[in-house]
């Protein structure tokens, strides 16, 4: 990837024009300054905000189109009218420009680009083959650990199902290193034949590494050879009357057969992704299916934004470019439509993954069936999303009428607190929009007790709301409606905060549980009228309950994480020079802080990464 700062070229604002040109006039006046080379261009408005990011094989030829807005659609004409300047980044190839373009789109999120709003990370299975005794585990995020990664999987459920098969068929350990190196007896997983108990020395390392190799081969769709080898070993064990070992081998073969039956419909397809797009009334859904090692790893649906006036090929190409910026492309991607720059996209993906990537848009036979399946799922997902959106729009309209708001409701925030007798106190905010829960906008607030009594729920609510709306005023990011989990007193606290900060046009509502705390008997408290009880079968009440329950779930989950982290505070944490890696090394070497206290500074210095000086500091601090 090019260094953006060193490669930026901005069209020269020469003295030929005394007045400031904008829009199409700016583009026309500066065309001769743009190079006839591949690259990426950014269009900015007068405030410096990026309007659009695009790539071109020949920059001058592409930008010439924007000098004639009458040839473009109305949406692009609006964008051209806002252009204040254009910045470009030259690249050596169009494929490099494609990768850079999508990297900038993901980071800058320009308003006029097709945006992948549903982007997320997907879980993988990691086998730590570089370890002395490799471990099999779920993994999500950056690949910082060394080993073999398999995936992606569309859901944690798909990962858990595959992990269960790996444990049944190959008996690999799944425990953490800390547990493994300090255990002397087999655990329950060994008793139910899900682990070969290397922690207790019940298998030689050579035999264990053979199981690791077989597991990796299985994940690479080479399980047939593994089964043949297991069948020979089972027959040999049976002939030698080692019936217990033969039974273990039989169970492993059964587990592999079960997976083969589930993946028989792929007919030789090993690693590929299937991406299909369905568009209706200017709304698009892209459905992606993952297939790895001859098995289905699940699917997910994405709904790109800003697709009006774009063809299916343009939308799908923009989606793939942004999606594979954070995911490794497989060797083959099956598509439901032709991409405008298919050769460039394939070259860019090949450069990113380090191996050739094939884009197939005219699949036949079994591959065509997989594309049709993805296309059918995309259509059903879009219809389902439209129905859910219509239902939410109707509920928000009812809420608007109930609260006498004279504008459409675009953002609803719900607040709740969680603590145990004042410890590990947190506040939580969840956000709902016409598109559903916006989990990227959720916020948690760590509560300190410096200014009020521990366990003071009203003080906690005041602190949370004060911090949230101070920032909201500064960032011009305010909700239309605020729901407070609580009754009249909690609502009064919220109203005081809104008044003190002079927050405009925000309606606060308290949601109090009934006397017996049963759902359906909630009381709504308002600032300017008597409390209200909605009928237990009222859809609007159910919607408010979902908001309240989601805030409660998020608050409880955040509190549990904070409480767990608080309980894991070690005496080592307060020693200068001891970070996470050294702390882990010390605990793995000695087993506990108590054991570290019982040894000398010379013994502590034997741990990797601990110098004699630091060992003396640790010894003194613990004493």
The encoded tokens of residue 55 equal: 């790539």
Distance CA 291, CA 519 (A): 43
pLDDT band, residue 17 (cuts 50/70/90): very low
CA dihedral 116, 118, 119, 123 (to 10 degrees): -150
Please give the pLDDT value at position 568: 52
User: CA angle at residue 36 from 34 to 42, to 5 degrees?
Assistant: 45
- 482 touches 413 (CB < 8 A): yes
One DSSP character per residue, 238-298 reads HHTT-HHHHHHHHHHHHHHHHHHHHTGGGTT--SEEEEEEEEETTEEEEEEEEEETTEEEE
pLDDT above 70 covers what percent of the chain? 90
**8-state DSSP, 514:** -
Please give the pLDDT value at position 128: 92
| Number of other residues whose CB lies within 10 A of the CB of residue 197 | 17
One DSSP character per residue, 81-127 reads HT--EEEEEE-SSHHHHHHHHHHHHHHH--TTS-B-TT-----EEEE
Q: Which of 407, 415, 568, 553 is nearest to 491 (CA)?
A: 415
412-565 and 571-622 have identical folds: no
Beta bridge partners, 86, equal 43
The model's pTM: 0.71
Distance CA 598, CA 619 (A): 9
Three-class DSSP category at 380: helix
Q: Is the dihedral of CA 60, 62, 63, 67 positive or negative?
A: positive
Three-class DSSP category at 338: coil
Three-class DSSP category at 222: coil
Give how far Cα 605 sits from Cα of 178, 277, 589, 609, Å. Answer: 20, 60, 11, 8
Residue 449 has pLDDT above 80, yes or no: no
- The sheet that has 358-360: what strands, in order across it? 295-302, 283-292, 272-280, 332-335, 358-360
Please give the pLDDT value at position 563: 79
Residue 565 has pLDDT above 90, yes or no: no
Please give the pLDDT value at position 534: 87
pLDDT tens-digit series, residues 501-520: 999 889 999 998 876 666 66
**8-state DSSP, 31:** G
Higher-confidence position of 199 and 116: 199
Q: Which of 366, 373, 357 is nearest to 268 (CA)?
A: 366
Three-class DSSP category at 483: strand
Beta pairing class for 272-280 and 332-335: parallel
Question: How is the chain split into domains, by residue range?
Answer: 4-108, 124-266, 272-383, 412-565, 571-622
Residue 300 has pLDDT above 90, yes or no: no
Yes or no: is domain 571-622 CATH 1.10.150.20? yes
- 138 touches 154 (CB < 8 A): no
Please give the pLDDT value at position 54: 92
CATH architecture group of domain 272-383: 2-Layer Sandwich (3.30)
pLDDT tens-digit series, residues 137-178: 999 887 888 899 988 888 888 888 888 888 887 889 988 888
pLDDT band, residue 334 (cuts 50/70/90): very high
The encoded tokens of residue 433 equal: 């929009």
Q: Which CATH number fits domain 412-565: 3.30.1490.190, 3.30.420.340, 3.40.30.10, 3.20.20.140?
A: 3.30.420.340
- 144 touches 130 (CB < 8 A): no
Secondary element (H or E) of residue 425 = strand 423-433
Distance CA 205, CA 228 (A): 23
- 270 touches 296 (CB < 8 A): no
CATH architecture group of domain 4-108: 3-Layer(aba) Sandwich (3.40)
Distance CA 118, CA 89 (A): 28
Please give the pLDDT value at position 248: 75
The encoded tokens of residue 297 equal: 């790893």
pLDDT tens-digit series, residues 69-102: 888 888 888 889 999 999 999 998 999 999 899 8
Q: CB-based contacts of 385: which residues, under 8 Å, 6+ apart?
A: 285, 301, 303
Secondary element (H or E) of residue 86 = strand 85-90
Q: Is the dihedral of CA 609, 612, 614, 616 positive or negative?
A: positive
pLDDT tens-digit series, residues 341-369: 999 999 999 988 888 999 999 888 888 99
pLDDT band, residue 573 (cuts 50/70/90): low
Distance CA 155, CA 159 (A): 7
pLDDT tens-digit series, residues 365-395: 888 999 999 999 999 999 888 888 888 899 9
SS3 letters for 476-503? CCCCCEEEEECCHHHHHHHHHHHHHCCC
Residue 125 has pLDDT above 60, yes or no: yes
Q: CB-based contacts of 510: which residues, under 8 Å, 6+ apart?
A: 483, 484, 486, 487, 488, 490, 491, 494, 524, 525, 526
Q: Which single residue is written with the structure tokens 């190196």?
A: 181
CA-based R_g, the chain, Å: 30
pLDDT tens-digit series, residues 576-602: 777 777 877 887 777 777 778 888 888
Three-class DSSP category at 132: coil
pLDDT averaged over the chain? Answer: 84
pLDDT above 90 covers what percent of the chain? 30
User: CA angle at residue 589 from 585 to 595, to 5 degrees?
Assistant: 115
Distance CA 593, CA 571 (A): 7
């Amino acid at each position: 990837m090019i260094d953006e700062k060193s490669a930026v070229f901005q069209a020269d604002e020469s003295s030929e024009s005394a007045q400031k040109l904008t829009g199409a006039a700016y583009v026309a006046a500066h065309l001769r300054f743009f190079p006839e080379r591949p690259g990426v261009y950014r269009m900015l408005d007068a405030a410096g905000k990026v309007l659009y990011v695009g790539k071109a094989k020949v920059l001058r030829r592409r930008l010439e189109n924007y000098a004639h807005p009458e040839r473009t659609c109305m949406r692009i004409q609006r964008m051209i009218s806002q252009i204040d300047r254009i910045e470009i980044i030259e690249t050596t190839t169009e494929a490099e420009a494609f990768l850079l373009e999508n990297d900038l789109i993901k980071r800058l999120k320009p308003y006029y680009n097709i945006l992948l709003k549903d982007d997320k990370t997907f879980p993988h299975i990691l086998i730590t083959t570089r370890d002395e005794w490799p471990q099999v585990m779920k993994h999500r995020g950056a690949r910082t650990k060394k080993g073999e990664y398999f995936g992606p999987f569309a859901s944690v459920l798909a990962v858990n199902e595959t992990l269960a098969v790996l444990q049944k068929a190959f008996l690999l350990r799944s425990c953490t290193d800390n547990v493994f190196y300090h255990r002397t007896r087999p655990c329950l997983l060994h008793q139910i034949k899900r682990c070969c108990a290397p922690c207790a020395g019940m298998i030689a390392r050579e035999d264990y590494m053979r199981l690791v190799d077989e597991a990796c081969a299985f994940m690479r769709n080479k399980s047939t050879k593994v089964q043949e080898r297991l069948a020979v070993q089972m027959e040999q064990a049976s002939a030698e009357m080692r019936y217990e070992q033969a039974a273990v081998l039989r169970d492993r073969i059964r587990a592999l057969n079960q997976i083969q039956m589930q993946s028989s419909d792929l007919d030789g397809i090993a690693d590929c992704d299937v991406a299909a797009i369905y568009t209706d009334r200017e709304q698009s859904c892209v459905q992606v299916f993952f297939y790895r090692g001859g098995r289905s790893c699940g699917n997910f649906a994405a709904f790109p934004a800003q697709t009006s006036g774009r063809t299916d090929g343009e939308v799908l190409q923009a989606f793939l470019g942004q999606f594979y910026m954070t995911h490794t492309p497989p060797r083959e991607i099956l598509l439901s439509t032709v991409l405008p720059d298919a050769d460039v996209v394939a070259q860019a993906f090949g450069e990113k993954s380090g191996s050739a990537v094939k884009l197939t848009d005219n699949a036949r036979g079994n591959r065509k069936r997989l594309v049709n399946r993805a296309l059918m799922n995309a259509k059903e997902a879009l219809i389902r999303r439209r129905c859910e959106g219509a239902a939410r729009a109707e509920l928000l309209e009812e809420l608007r009428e109930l609260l006498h708001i004279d504008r459409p409701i675009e953002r609803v925030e719900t607040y709740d607190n969680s603590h145990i007798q004042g410890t590990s106190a947190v506040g939580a905010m969840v956000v709902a929009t016409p598109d559903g829960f916006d989990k990227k906008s959720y916020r948690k607030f760590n509560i300190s007790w410096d200014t009020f009594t521990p366990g003071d729920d009203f003080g906690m609510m005041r602190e949370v709301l004060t911090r949230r709306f101070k920032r909201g005023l500064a960032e011009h990011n305010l909700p239309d409606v605020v729901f407070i989990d609580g009754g009249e007193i909690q609502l009064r606290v919220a109203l005081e905060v809104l008044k003190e900060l002079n927050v405009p046009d925000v309606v606060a509502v308290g949601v109090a549980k009934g006397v017996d705390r049963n759902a359906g008997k909630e009381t709504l408290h308002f600032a300017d009228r008597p409390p209200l009880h909605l009928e237990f079968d009222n859809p609007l009440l159910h919607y408010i309950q979902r908001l309240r329950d989601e805030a409660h779930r998020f608050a409880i989950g955040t509190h549990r994480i904070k409480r767990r982290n608080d309980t894991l505070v070690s005496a080592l944490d307060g020693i200068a020079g001891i970070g996470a890696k050294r702390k882990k090394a010390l605990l793995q070497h000695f087993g506990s802080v108590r054991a570290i206290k019982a040894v000398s500074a010379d013994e502590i210095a034997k741990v990797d990464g601990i110098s004699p000086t630091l060992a003396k500091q640790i010894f003194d601090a613990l004493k």
